[in-house]
Structures are given as structure tokens and as C-alpha cells.
Amino acid sequence: MFELGSFIEKAFSHHSTIYFVLDDNASFVYVNKAIEERLGIKLDLSADKNIEFSSLMTRPKRWKLFRKEFNNSSEKGQAYTFQVELNTSENKSINFTCELKSVEFESKQYIFGELLEEQIKDENNTTQLQLSGLLTKNTNLLRERSFNQYIYNLIYTIQNLTNEAEIIETVCNRMVERENNEFSIERVVLKLKKSDEILTVFNNSNSATESDFELVKNADEFILNGENGSIENDGEGGFGIALQLYDVEKVDAVFYIKSHSEEQLNKEINELKIIINSMARQVSSVYLTNRLHRESIEDPLTGAFNRRYFDNEIKVEVNRAARYNRDLSMVFVDIDHFKIINDTYGHPQGDRCLVDIVKLCMETGRLSDHVYRYGGEEFVLLLPETNYEQSMVRAEKLRKSVEEASFLNINNPENPIKLTVSLGVSEYIDQQKFIEFINCADIAMYKAKDTGRNKVIGSR
């Protein structure tokens, strides 16, 4: 299966929302099973097939306009949302809200999409908010004349934020702003389950204890046992809603608000739900996009950048150094006698040593120094704004740190393991090809290994 699709399959195969991935030609490379439930069709995405998104549309000619608008939004780093009618297996049409976002995976651009069914009408023909899954569709509500412009502006603001913490903080703070008396809210508390802990992510009243908000006492149980979108209401102006922010299978957060009065809360409740679920939607979307990006550029074992990302970044950094006449150096790092570690202690111990070496690489350098797993027990440090002498000092600092460190022996913690590394250093020379730059550091590293190991050798 397509690798990006495989990643999404693990997260969303069970979900009722339709998730899909398109290539640059707008052909499907992945779609989850929800499309069978909603449209009654099963797409054959085998290698010899080329099924375009527009082929599902009732009016396929409109795709050209949608794609143009999507491209414009992508250039601004924004998602693009539009209404579309899709055909079912019974030749009927269903209205959806479609959101498209550009994502990069393994140096290729894809379109990640979500399809949400139009909202239902109750017996009074009024729009009702549906709280299913990670997402809720607010597009139609935003068009209602009666909808508060303040709410629209807030939702628009968070849709353009790309930092999860900033999204949460913006929504929580704006809910309790008093300038225009938008809401009657006096308390906002957001609880999040992370690992085995339930943390208070936001509490606007630091002076007040959580015990003065009765509902918050039940947060642990609500997170563990609540269903996504389920609601707690104490009848005294207290309101809580269970959410999925990061965990796509179960509730991992609870959003609590405290109003001045139950009567006022009832007047504001629908708009508050929209804001809260818009926040959850954007946090989940940003988290997924960032996770997809990390999956494509990071080594899953060590957390260092992977070889594929190095092959891309070395060209970028060399071009920058050549164009602006900036310093650039590289350090190749190889763990000495690593095969003996694997043979003596086992591969799990070897993996642990690799992880610990990467930690030392990161701890002994600057934030701008990038660490890459080049292959096996070999790593590369790419050092922007660093000349030859500075990179030799950096390499020696790492060598000494590894030599002096005691590495955890997972089978016998009282008997730690000692390691050393051999390092090769090179500095980029004007007009030098990037492959020559790499080879200089690589050759220097092997010279360090051939002449006794546990040393730094430079190449100029």
C-alpha cells in the first residue's frame, strides 16, 4: 500500500469521516473505508488504475475551479474548504463539505482531504450541530445571517494557525475576553490525557482552585469513559464536552466552561459548541499534518533526521553557502566496534545505544545543528554558519562526551556500557560539488577509524 496511505490507514480506517489522499494529478492514492458506507462505492486503487476525484462529482467540470482556489490557498499555507455534490452507487447525490490541505511526504506533494456530510435539519428546519468524529462542519452555520460575526472571525483566525498550543490558547483566551461582552463565561479549563497522566492544559483562573468548579472534579472519569461529543451539564452554568484532539480512537481531552448563569449559558451553548469543535478540528488537523511531515523526514528509532532528508537538505545548505558566501561544515560520526555491541548484548541494546548517541549529538550542539542517521551506526552533523576550526571543536566536544558517558546496559543496569566514536570533519569550499563535500568528511572518518579510532580527523 502507498506509504502515506498506510500511515493514515492506521489512524482513520475505522472512522466515519471520509479521508483521502490525492496525487498532484488529483487521482486517488488512498481513501478510507468510510467512502463505501457513505457512497456505496469501492474504489480500486491498484497501480494500473487512475481514478480522479472529479469522477465522483455530480458536476465534474467544477473541479478545475476548485483546484485553482486550492492552489491559491496552499500558496498561503491555508486549507481550502468548498461544497461539493458526490454521486452514490444508486445514482443519487449527497452534499459534502470538502477540506483540502497540501502535505509533503518523502519530498513529494500530496493533497490530504476530508469529506463531511451536510448538516441535518430538525423538525423546525433549523440547523443542528453534529459532534461526530474529530471534525464538525460549520460552513453552513457561518453563512447564517444571525451568526455572530465575532464567532466567524475567531474561527477564521484559528483556521490559519499552525501551532497546536497557540490554537488552544487563542480560543480559551478569547472566550473569556470581556471587551465586547461576547459571552458570559467566567472560567475555562481544558484537560488533556497524555500518556497515563491527565494534565490541565489551560485554566484561566490561576488563583482559583479547580475544586470550586464542581464538574472539573469528574474530569478523569469523563476523559476515560466519555464518548466524543458527549456533554456534562451541572444545571448551574457549568458545561463540559469530551473531545478527541490527538487520539483518533478515543477521547483524550475535556473542555470545561463556567458561565455566570445557566440561563445565559443556554443562549450561548450552540455558538460555544461550534468554537470548541472548530478548535478540536484545527488542533487535530495541525497535529496530523505535522506528524505526517515528521514521519517522512525522521528516523523512527533515533529521532534523528533520515537519510532521504539529508540527501535533500545537503543540496539546500550547499546552495545557500555558495550563494551567500556563508560557512558550512559537516561531521561524520561512526560508533566504534558497534558490531561487537550487537553480537555481545543483542540488537535491542544496540538500538538503545544508537538512541543515546543521537541524544549526545543534540545535547552537545546548537539548535541549528542538524543530526541525520546516514546508515547503520553512522550519523552526520550538518553545521551551518560553522567554519573548519569551529567544527573541529564541535566534533572533539562530542567525541569526549561519548568517551566519558556511561551507556545504560538494559540487561544489567549496574554494569554500564562504554562507547567511543570516530569522527571526520570537512568544510565546504566555494564551487565544491556537494558530493565532494560529503566524501571529504566520509574519508576523514574512515581515516580516524583506520588510525586507532576514538579520534577526530579533519579534511580541508
pLDDT at 259 over 60: yes
What Rg value do the Cα atoms of the chain yield, rounded?
27
* Element spanning 202, H or E: strand 197-203
Give residue 303's identity as a one-letter amino acid code. Answer: G
Mean pLDDT of 433-460: 95
**Which pLDDT does position 212 carry in this prediction?**
63
Instruction: Please give the angle made by the CA atoms of 27, 32 and 33, to the nearest 5 degrees.
Output: 125
**Which pLDDT does position 326 carry in this prediction?**
94
**Which pLDDT does position 6 carry in this prediction?**
60
- Residues known to be catalytic: 377
More confidently predicted of 10 and 253: 253
pLDDT in tens, 15-32: 667 888 999 899 998 888
Measured CA to CA, the distance from residue 388 to residue 164 in angstroms comes to 39
pLDDT in tens, 321-376: 999 999 999 999 999 999 999 999 999 999 999 999 999 999 999 888 999 999 99
pLDDT in tens, 201-221: 898 875 555 556 788 888 888
Residue 148 — very low, low, confident or very high, per pLDDT cuts 50/70/90? Answer: low
Query: For 219-251, b where at least 16 C-beta lie within 10 A, e where not — what string?
Result: beebbeebebbeebeeeebbbbbbbbbbbbeeb
More confidently predicted of 118 and 123: 118
Measured CA to CA, the distance from residue 150 to residue 156 in angstroms comes to 10
**Which pLDDT does position 274 carry in this prediction?**
86
pLDDT at 411 over 60: yes
Measured CA to CA, the distance from residue 80 to residue 137 in angstroms comes to 14
Least confident of 103-107, 193-197, 256-260, 270-274: 103-107
Question: Which range has highest mean pLDDT (139-143, 199-203, 292-296)?
Answer: 199-203
Q: Which three cell numbers stand for residue 430?
A: 566555494
Name the average pLDDT for the chain. 85
pLDDT at 142 over 60: no
Which of 371, 344, 331, 355 shows the shortest CA–CA distance to 457? 331
Residue 178 — very low, low, confident or very high, per pLDDT cuts 50/70/90? Answer: low
Give the chain's end-to-end CA distance (angstroms, integer): 46
Mean pLDDT of 115-126: 53
Among residues of the chain, what percentage have pLDDT more than 70? Answer: 86
Residue 47 — very low, low, confident or very high, per pLDDT cuts 50/70/90? Answer: low
CA dist list (Å): 204 to 199, 200, 215 = 14, 11, 16
DSSP state of 224: H
- Domains of the chain are 1-117 (3.30.450.20), 119-295 (3.30.450.40), 307-459 (3.30.70.270)
Question: Which range has highest mean pLDDT (10-14, 37-41, 332-336, 427-431)?
Answer: 332-336
More confidently predicted of 289 and 62: 62
**Which pLDDT does position 147 carry in this prediction?**
47
Sign of CA dihedral 30, 35, 39, 40: positive
